[in-house]
Structure 1
Amino acid sequence: MASLKEVRSRIVSVNSTQQITKAMKMVAAAKLRRAQDGITQLRPYAQKLGEMLSTVSAAAESAVDSPLKTVRAVNKVLIIVVTSDRGLCGAFNTNIIKATLQLIEQKYAFQARNGNVEIFAIGKKGAEAFSRRGFVVHTGYTDIFTRLSFVSVKQAAEEIMKDFSDGRYDAVDLVYNEFKNVATQIIHADQYLPIPTDYKVGKTKKLEVNYIFEPSEVEILAELIPKSLKIKLYRSVLESNASEQGARMTAMEKATENAQELLKELRLIYNRTRQAAITKEILEIVGGAEALKN
């Protein structure tokens, strides 16, 4: 049985840990509110931009020849992996890493065996995980969550689009967590480039409307296509940020509850140990008294 000093030390340690997890939960809750506001405001804009692109492309009389639509034989692959910069958020990062490895195994196994799969890491945890596994990892935007803004994500999207247009990569996929609620995140593994040749969403039919394009339909679509890709990447980063805070809030809440249960057990052990020590002392006193009496 542990001594009273050891049990007291463990109680103090667990109590300190519980205070830290409580504070981290409160911080995550505050950050989650801001992250939710950001993604709630962006979702309607991103959806409307997609509808606009679908409508304009459906009404256009001629197809737009964009290098971002070019379909090539897939030799070189880039996978954008959106994780967090810090841990203590449950299985948030682990699930993304597993989903990415599964994507590589199922879709790009041949390219991976030839060393032609590279990782574009947004978030330090993903960069560290795939570096350990021997992948070529681009780490220029791993600290993007430090000052999260559209400008920084836009730069990352422009760099990716340029590399694809120059033929450095033949396919680009995007893996991230979509925020549903505090306890639930949905993993998405979407094709980012080349963009689909058909912009129509679902069963949207070509509208019977005579549009007047100013400037030309080619110029409008040439502007909308890159903008939609930038917004898509920005949305995935915001979704991941909100998901991270929700996962961290849930993880810290569970940690706080576990610490409380552990404190109950330790206090019970402490009381039993203390009672045993007192009983032992009483027995020693009684035994000594009996010895003197005899």
Structure 2
Amino acid sequence: MANLKEIRGRITSISSTMQITSAMKMVAAAKLKKAQDAIVMLRPYSEKLTELIENVSANADPEQVATYTVQREVKNVLYIVITSNRGLAGAFNSSVVKELNLQLKKTTQSYEILTVGKKVYDAVWKNTKVYDNQSAIFDHLSFDKVAGFTAQVMKDYTEGKFDQVFVIYNKFINAATQQVITEQVLPIAMPEVTSTAAVDYIFEPSAKEILENLIPKSIKTQVYKAVLDSVAAEHGARMTAMHKATDNAGALKNDLVITYNKARQAAITNEILEIVSGAEALKGN
């Protein structure tokens, strides 16, 4: 059995760890509220944007929407992979890297990776071709920053550098649940025209001009939504991981306290026995 000093040291160390994990849990919970509000507010905008594209494309010439929708032979693929810059979030980052590896095993085409987050960059830069690293956007996240690198991806797509673009990220479900998603960004799949969408509108400006503005904005919004989803999922995953870590540390501390009390009781008993034995020996003399 470990001596009392060693056990006391371990109890002190675990108590300090509990304070850290508890504080990290509270910080993550505070950040989660803000990140959750951001993604919840963006989703209706994204859905409405898709609805507008559906309504306009239903009345437009198919050639007017072909820039980002044409299906061509797939020779080069780009994966936009989103993780976090920090760890201590359970399987949040590793699950995305695992999904990326599964996608790469299935593809037979040439591919490049655009990393958003230091964790995925550290995992892939040695073995795969990194198209770009955008980990710094998390320092001051904004739509303009995400739209900036997305616009470059769209430009390379139209020039034929890539034939398909996918985004891999953690979708925020709730504070305790994240779902790894692989979405196709380019070419975009135009929404099916429904009976309600096929209305004879009079467009001003023309349907072509509207689509030329809406479709690029929709692509940028899709990537930005993926980033916001990932941010909210990260804080949820970290809050859950730190909650479990705090609980586990508490359970370990309780076990050590019991062990310490048993060791202390055994030490006191031994001391009493030694005193009694000494007293008996003196009486014999």
RMSD: 1.5
SS in 1 for 2:71: coil
Aligned residues: 284
One-letter amino acid of the counterpart of residue 213, structure 1: F
CA deviation digits over 1:109-164, x for unaligned, max 9?
A: x22xxxx22111111111111124x0112443112222111111111211111111
Aligned match of 2:242 in 233, 247, 252?
Answer: 252
Matching residue of 1:281: 271
Matching residue of 2:138: 145
Matching residue of 1:212: 202
Alignment of 1:41-52 (within 5 A): 41-52=41-52
2:183 is aligned with 1:190: yes
One-letter amino acid of the counterpart of residue 74, structure 2: V
One-letter amino acid of the counterpart of residue 171, structure 1: Q
One-letter amino acid of the counterpart of residue 286, structure 1: V
Structure 1 54/121 Cα, relative in aligned 2: closer, same or farther at 3 Å?
Answer: same
Alignment of 1:27-46 (within 5 A): 27-46=27-46
Relative to the length of structure 1, the TM-score reads 0.92
CA deviation digits over 1:200-239, x for unaligned, max 9?
A: 3xx7236453211222211111111100000000101001
Identity of aligned residues (%): 50
One-letter amino acid of the counterpart of residue 120, structure 2: G
Matching residue of 1:262: 252
CA deviation digits over 1:5-31, x for unaligned, max 9?
A: 110000000000000000000000000
Structure 2 gaps of 5+ residues are none
Structure 1 213/290 Cα, relative in aligned 2: closer, same or farther at 3 Å?
Answer: same
Structure 1 258/207 Cα, relative in aligned 2: closer, same or farther at 3 Å?
Answer: closer
Matching residue of 2:112: 118
- C-alpha distance in structure 1 between counterparts of 2:140 and 2:85, whole Å: 12
Alignment of 1:166-185 (within 5 A): 166-185=159-178
- C-alpha distance in structure 2 between counterparts of 1:199 and 1:131, whole Å: 36
- C-alpha distance in structure 1 between counterparts of 2:12 and 2:77, whole Å: 51
Residue 65 of structure 1, CA deviation: 4.9
Equivalent pair of 1:124/1:142 in contact (CA under 8 Å): yes
SS in 1 for 2:170: strand
Aligned match of 1:239 in 199, 219, 229?
Answer: 229
Equivalent pair of 1:58/1:206 in contact (CA under 8 Å): no
- C-alpha distance in structure 1 between counterparts of 2:213 and 2:131, whole Å: 27
CA deviation digits over 1:86-105, x for unaligned, max 9?
A: 11111111111111111222
Equivalent pair of 1:18/1:260 in contact (CA under 8 Å): yes
One-letter amino acid of the counterpart of residue 96, structure 1: V
- C-alpha distance in structure 2 between counterparts of 1:120 and 1:71, whole Å: 22
- C-alpha distance in structure 2 between counterparts of 1:24 and 1:149, whole Å: 24
Residue 54 of structure 1, CA deviation: 0.8
Equivalent pair of 2:88/2:241 in contact (CA under 8 Å): yes
Matching residue of 1:290: 280
One-letter amino acid of the counterpart of residue 246, structure 1: G
Structure 1 272/212 Cα, relative in aligned 2: closer, same or farther at 3 Å?
Answer: same
